[in-house]
Structure 1
């Protein structure tokens, strides 16, 4: 397990995120991970050296703070609390006598972000064990500081999903609002993404100079491993003159950063594969079989996607002979879903089962946009990048594995319903389709269990087949229009008197009781189950 000196961790998280309140009387404390201090049972099994995050801890409550300090001391862990800078005198006095280090976290920074910052820094440190080629540069934060010290600017290193994976934190560095928001959010700010994704930066073999109005001038260089683009390294300078003659240094720094980012990518890919496997097992009802600890991350929203049926096309011919191309498109849609989810702040899990892609978007640590916005963005990307249209359905938030299985069942039913109705591609919500899904389940139960049927629909169908009549379609259309003779006869293309005659004959021949609400409801369900999805006939 990677251990990092506490002083280095604090240095890496400077810039308004974390500061040291008390060193606990020892300068060589080392941190191996982060753990939430909101679950006593979990803390009791925490290994020494973790940073305990005091979620919900009120530092003004002297007893609560004392209990948290004792817990940290019992587990040989450091403690982080939300605390303004400078801290209140009574808090300073209380933590000064603590036997463990105490860190102050900016109250504006969410605990989830603090946990992610700590784990990212530790992962970066773990990923940069001495490369075999002899080129070293410490971890990415150390590399950023080294480059900043050489060129006299403020360094930030981003991956291809616009995540700030490391940044320099030397004293008296130049800083502007874009850099400040990027560090606090660990992401390229929304208004700077267009500049960050400028094609000139990503295709250039040399450094590129950029200067957005209102920002400090910047120099950028792409980070590559062969032809594979891994990210970019940016330096903000106090003025244009300071950025001169730094090209060779930044290009060498980009080569060193590539070694570390490759290691980080391998770790991210392994974690992604682990999440995907756990989701696949959960959706197949076999959770726990070789899954990583914790399994799927819940609560979360489940999304199901399938390729949309082209309107006016024949579904059988659409499916025949195109299986390989369709599967390739689904696999590419799966990759897009994962990449878009990551780029917008989620840690998605994804699985391809049959002809459907399922994506799980955890609620904890969710991105800056809603799942609905993410889904619209994904469908738009698929339409332009894959030249394919998809239908997507998302579930309400699910809390348990059993609820996840139920969500998959509802999503599958919704996708079936939309395909059968030839609905257009786009994003739909299972909650909005709930009435249709309930009806499908009721009709499905009637089809499968004869004891749930009165048998009248079968008698009507048999009579229609034998005598070339059309009582089934007539009655179902009439019932679907709630007894509106004009609307029903218009859909059937028959005269209103003809419709009335058929209804009277049905009542005489088959004991149909259209005035009885219960029997009318049962007849509607049975006729719907019997008719399947066939359109009503127009025979006279």
Structure 2
């Protein structure tokens, strides 16, 4: 078993089970195991660093306590005694002068339970920050699962709140059923067992709960908590109901130990997630910074952009003028939801909030991960039900370089702008499918910004419309968009077909519009589209 600093062991057993009476002479004591003080044969071969359990020791007997302290000192071990807290003054004075640490055990706690708890915690190899060492790893949870399985005689599985199997016992001759086999192979709770796994009785209980799903082995479950924060659950499959009768205290203590590891793992995962998110934000902004992961963002990957949809029946101005704080809070919740959904469905996403858009990078799918389309459908559905918000999502094709990633962001931004302007329904869209619209937007934008790309005829038409209250621009643009179909164009404009024909002839006479020339028709379409929606030109008064 891995040695653990005594203070960490006491901290793991906090809650009235064990407290520290005396530190002893050494600066730091490390515990490697537990042994009974009244077992002379075992004591003869006990290695230094054990915790001696003072079974049968009466602390009121000064001589007996002194003998126990000398034995512990001779073996370089710590001593645990049954003692109320605070201890009697004479006991406190005697242990304070001892050369070994002394722990006080709640007199109401059986020694068998103390031994079981210490053994379980040490078997879990709780992470200790050694000089130059690291922190807790998933292997600690596997050791804990094996330790618990050995104590209770069942098969242990530890799941997080996303129903992912993060650790399981692998001792020989363990009981197993089809649900456990599929859960271990798929590293998550099987779909048909989710209802039983998520049963409310399990997750609201502060104690151990028994479950027996038809066709499965009987199970006992306990929720893993850190204060009010639920971190996951620990389940044990037993060969029969009788085997599960007396394991409650062990599983509850094991859940407390598991919480320590899962908190450490969460911190590690959160640190990695923060690093990925920071690298994505810097990449999308066209810069890199110290502290980004080696190589920056993980590529190849698909980029997804999300924007809150304009409410049906609302207008763009009122939507933009909505409460900024509430909208940003919704975007931040959507960002968290995207990361959680990505993780739970097998991806390792990076996410960033830039402006009023959430961007999620999904590295090329590995084994067990779902497609980007399935993930987006799931995410948008959860956002509707959990956040009560509707979002529009656009995903890019897979990109392999940072320059392609920046181009993908530009395409996604243009697509989201286009969909918002068109009042498109919330949902998932592909940038590749919107490519023609995006190319047209760029062409129109270039024509709008650069006078050298315009013939000037559209400006003259707009000026005339403003001056004389005519509708040449709208008439021509509608006619061109309907490919010269007079019936369709006049129907959209709500005018008679002859009226439309008259306007077209007048436009040709007054402005030299050449509707029979393909090149001029194309240029006129681009110019009218570019100028549509711009403020009306001033009229001469």
* 8 Å Cα contact 2:117/2:253 also seen in 1: no
Matched residue, 2:44: 44
Distance in 1 (CA, whole Å) between partners of 2:71 and 2:460 is 75
Q: Which runs of 5+ in 2 are unaligned?
A: none
Distance change (3 Å), C-alpha of 1:531 and 1:65 = farther
Deviation at 1:339, TM superposition (A): 0.8
Secondary structure in structure 1 of the residue aligned to 2:394: strand
Deviates more, 1:235-244 or 1:522-531: 235-244
Deviation at 1:427, TM superposition (A): 1.4
* 8 Å Cα contact 1:470/1:537 also seen in 2: no
Distance in 1 (CA, whole Å) between partners of 2:301 and 2:66 is 35
Matched residue, 1:6: 6
Distance change (3 Å), C-alpha of 1:114 and 1:170 = farther
* 8 Å Cα contact 2:124/2:147 also seen in 1: no
Secondary structure in structure 2 of the residue aligned to 1:494: coil
Secondary structure in structure 2 of the residue aligned to 1:125: coil
Distance in 2 (CA, whole Å) between partners of 1:316 and 1:402 is 34
Deviation at 1:173, TM superposition (A): 0.7
* 8 Å Cα contact 2:123/2:144 also seen in 1: no
Q: RMSD over aligned Cα, in angstroms?
A: 17.9
Deviates more, 1:335-344 or 1:266-275: 335-344
1:335 aligns with 2:332: no
1:274 aligns with 2:275: yes
Distance in 1 (CA, whole Å) between partners of 2:421 and 2:203 is 44
Distance change (3 Å), C-alpha of 1:435 and 1:31 = farther
Secondary structure in structure 1 of the residue aligned to 2:138: coil
Deviation at 1:112, TM superposition (A): 43
Deviations 1:45-79 (A, max 9, x none): 99999999999999999999999999999999999
Deviation at 1:174, TM superposition (A): 1.0
Distance change (3 Å), C-alpha of 1:52 and 1:237 = closer
* 8 Å Cα contact 2:51/2:79 also seen in 1: yes
Distance in 2 (CA, whole Å) between partners of 1:221 and 1:15 is 18
Deviation at 1:480, TM superposition (A): 0.4
Deviates more, 1:327-336 or 1:529-538: 529-538
Deviation at 1:100, TM superposition (A): 44
Deviates more, 1:364-373 or 1:176-185: 364-373
Distance in 2 (CA, whole Å) between partners of 1:407 and 1:115 is 59
Deviates more, 1:226-235 or 1:159-168: 159-168
Distance in 2 (CA, whole Å) between partners of 1:130 and 1:484 is 80
Distance change (3 Å), C-alpha of 1:94 and 1:134 = closer
1:537 aligns with 2:534: no
Distance change (3 Å), C-alpha of 1:457 and 1:208 = same
Deviates more, 1:328-337 or 1:372-381: 372-381
Deviations 1:87-136 (A, max 9, x none): 99999999999999999999999999999999999999795659999999
Secondary structure in structure 1 of the residue aligned to 2:124: helix
Distance change (3 Å), C-alpha of 1:39 and 1:176 = same
Deviations 1:353-399 (A, max 9, x none): 00111111111426532211111111111111111111111111111
Deviations 1:224-245 (A, max 9, x none): 0101111111111112221111
* 8 Å Cα contact 2:84/2:106 also seen in 1: yes
Distance change (3 Å), C-alpha of 1:102 and 1:525 = farther
Q: Which runs of 5+ in 1 are unaligned?
A: none
* 8 Å Cα contact 1:112/1:365 also seen in 2: no
* 8 Å Cα contact 2:128/2:135 also seen in 1: no
* 8 Å Cα contact 1:158/1:231 also seen in 2: yes
Deviates more, 1:311-320 or 1:170-179: 311-320
Distance change (3 Å), C-alpha of 1:191 and 1:308 = same
Deviation at 1:288, TM superposition (A): 4.5
Deviation at 1:458, TM superposition (A): 1.0
Distance change (3 Å), C-alpha of 1:244 and 1:106 = closer
Distance change (3 Å), C-alpha of 1:536 and 1:103 = farther
Deviation at 1:14, TM superposition (A): 34
Deviates more, 1:104-113 or 1:402-411: 104-113
Matched residue, 2:373: 372
Deviates more, 1:20-29 or 1:272-281: 20-29
Distance change (3 Å), C-alpha of 1:317 and 1:26 = closer
* 8 Å Cα contact 1:24/1:98 also seen in 2: yes
Deviation at 1:519, TM superposition (A): 1.3
Deviations 1:168-198 (A, max 9, x none): 1100111122212222222222222232222
Deviates more, 1:370-379 or 1:272-281: 370-379
* 8 Å Cα contact 1:128/1:139 also seen in 2: no
> Which of 1 and 2 has greater Rg?
2
* 8 Å Cα contact 1:17/1:184 also seen in 2: no
Distance change (3 Å), C-alpha of 1:206 and 1:63 = closer
Deviations 1:322-370 (A, max 9, x none): 0000001111111111111111111111101001111111114265322
Distance change (3 Å), C-alpha of 1:161 and 1:94 = farther
Deviations 1:445-467 (A, max 9, x none): 11111111111111111121222
**Normalising by the residue count of structure 2, what TM-score does the alignment of the two structures yield?**
0.74
Distance change (3 Å), C-alpha of 1:485 and 1:394 = same
**Normalising by the residue count of structure 1, what TM-score does the alignment of the two structures yield?**
0.74
Deviation at 1:314, TM superposition (A): 2.6
* 8 Å Cα contact 2:348/2:362 also seen in 1: yes
* 8 Å Cα contact 1:12/1:141 also seen in 2: no
Deviation at 1:297, TM superposition (A): 0.8
Name the count of aligned residue pairs. 540
* 8 Å Cα contact 2:283/2:402 also seen in 1: yes
Deviates more, 1:208-217 or 1:101-110: 101-110
Deviates more, 1:416-425 or 1:359-368: 359-368
* 8 Å Cα contact 1:223/1:258 also seen in 2: yes
1:390 aligns with 2:391: yes
Distance in 1 (CA, whole Å) between partners of 2:152 and 2:432 is 55
Distance in 1 (CA, whole Å) between partners of 2:367 and 2:105 is 20
